[in-house]
């Protein structure tokens, strides 16, 4: 698998290149209610660490343009950020140029978080696990870096498709296509969809490889929760509706439909 990693970095870069607008296609960035809910949850986790130890060291995986890094840094935390897209890293370098509390790591192979033996009080993955092929192993390895009493949180990944009803998946897809119709690259979208229906993936195509688990089976929320349960005194699975189009976001939330999840582990147990 080692030789595949630079390929993935190249694909991530093509999908998140110079001028990429993270907000446009990301429900958790474009809908204020959802974005604010995630910010509030992150702030509470940072505050808990301050109360516990008077400081907070955060590892944020795949920060994009730093929409959430801003809030963590504003609370005075020491933040280490990894980012696989060089153009996005350059954006972060400009954004945090004079902030010595923010350490930025270019993540060409998905290993940057493990390149030294640093420990963290909070590890954050926001809208990133679905990009990582073997996310269970990856999360397990990040848990090893969390100090006793520390926390892990991940937000904005698709719930595991095999446990969702046909109606739920249908509504999710329909909401996506309503939004997609108003976007450019419709032809490309249809071609991608056709490949997915045939269960075929093009390993050179960012559409199939970057949204890795969105185009496959979603992210296994239960397996992740089980992983966290073994390491933390408490865990919380938060499930919610998330889609791109604003009216459908409001409608789906009101109906209580759930397509997406966040997962938090608090108070890490002492390491064995
Ligand atoms: C959907 S964006 C989310 C960005 C940001 N977390 C947010 O919520 O605004 C996913 C980001 O993760 C980066 N990425 C994907 N896989 C990664 C990995 N294994 N390590 C570090 N960054 C990764 C991508 O380059 C991209 O910037």
Residue 267 has a pLDDT of 98
**What residues form DSSP beta bridges with 234?**
266
Work out whether strand 232-240 and strand 260-268 pair parallel, antiparallel, or are unpaired.
antiparallel
Average pLDDT of the chain is 91
Query: For atom 20 of ligand 1, which residue has the closest CA?
Result: 110
The pLDDT tens digits of the residues spanning 120-139 come to 999 999 999 999 999 999 99
pLDDT of res. 183: 79
Whether the CB-CB separation of 104 and 89 falls below 8 Å is answered with yes
Separation of CA 98 and ligand 1 centre (Å):
23
Q: Is the CB of 12 under 6 A from ligand 1?
A: yes
Atom nearest to 88 CA in ligand 1:
27
Region of 243 on the Ramachandran plot (φ > 0 left; ψ -120 to 50 alpha; else beta) = beta
What pLDDT does 272 receive? 75
4-21 tens-digit pLDDT: 556 787 877 777 777 777
Q: Which residue has the higher pLDDT, 37 or 176?
A: 37
Which segment of 87-101, 166-180, 185-199 scores lowest on mean pLDDT? 185-199
Tokens of 211: 């949204």
Contacts of residue 37, defined as CB under 8 A and 6 or more positions apart, other chains included, come to none
The neighbouring-strand residues paired with 7 are: none
pLDDT of residue 6: 63
Tens of pLDDT, residue by residue over 203-216, are 777 777 778 888 88
Residues 6-45 as b/e (b if ≥16 CB within 10 A, e otherwise) read eebbbbbbbbbeeebebeeebbbbbbeebbebbbeebeeb
In this structure, the residue with its CA closest to atom 27 of ligand 1 is 64
Q: Is 1 a residue whose pLDDT tops 70?
A: no
pLDDT of residue 194: 67
The predicted-structure confidence for 52-84, as pLDDT tens digits, reads as follows 999 999 999 999 999 999 999 999 999 999 999
How many CB atoms are closer than 10 A to CB 192? 19
Do 163 and 222 form a contact (C-beta atoms < 8 A)? yes
Q: Give the number of the atom of ligand 1 that is nearest the alpha carbon of residue 125.
A: 6
Per-residue pLDDT tens for 245-268? 999 999 999 999 999 999 999 999
Burial 223-256 (b: 16+ CB within 10 A, else e): ebbebbeebbeebeebebbbbbbeebbeebbeee
Domains and CATH numbers, the chain: 2-268 (3.40.50.150)
In this predicted model, which residue has the larger pLDDT, 2 or 270?
270
**CB-ligand 1 contact for 84 (6 Å cutoff):** yes
- Quickly state the pLDDT bin for 193 (edges 50, 70, 90): low
Helix (H, G, I), strand (E, B) or coil at 164: coil
pLDDT given at position 212 = 83
């Amino acid at each position: 698998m080692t030789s595949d990693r630079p390929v993935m970095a190249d694909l991530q870069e093509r999908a998140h290149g110079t001028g990429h607008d993270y907000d446009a296609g990301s429900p958790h960035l474009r809908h204020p209610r959802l974005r604010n809910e995630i910010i509030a949850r992150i702030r509470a986790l940072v505050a808990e660490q301050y109360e516990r130890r008077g400081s907070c060291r955060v590892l944020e995986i795949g920060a994009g343009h730093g929409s959430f890094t801003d809030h963590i840094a504003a609370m005075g935390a020491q933040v280490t950020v990894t980012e696989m897209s060089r153009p996005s890293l350059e954006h972060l370098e400009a954004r945090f140029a004079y902030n010595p509390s923010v350490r930025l790591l270019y993540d060409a192979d998905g290993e940057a978080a493990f390149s030294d033996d640093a420990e963290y009080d909070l590890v954050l993955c926001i809208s990133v696990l679905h990009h990582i092929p073997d996310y269970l192993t990856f999360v397990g390895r990040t848990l090893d870096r969390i100090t006793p009493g520390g926390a892990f949180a991940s937000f904005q990944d698709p719930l595991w498709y095999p446990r969702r009803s046909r109606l739920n998946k249908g509504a999710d897809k329909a909401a996506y296509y309503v939004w997609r119709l108003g976007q450019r690259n419709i032809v490309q979208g249809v071609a991608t969809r056709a490949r997915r229906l045939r269960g075929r993936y093009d390993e050179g195509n960012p559409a199939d490889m970057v949204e890795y688990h969105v185009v496959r089976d979603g992210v296994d929320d239960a397996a992740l929760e089980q992983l966290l349960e073994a390491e933390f005194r408490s865990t919380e699975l938060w499930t919610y509706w998330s889609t791109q189009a604003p009216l459908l976001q409001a409608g789906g939330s009101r109906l209580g439909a759930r397509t997406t999840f966040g997962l938090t582990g608090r108070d890490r147990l002492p390491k064995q």
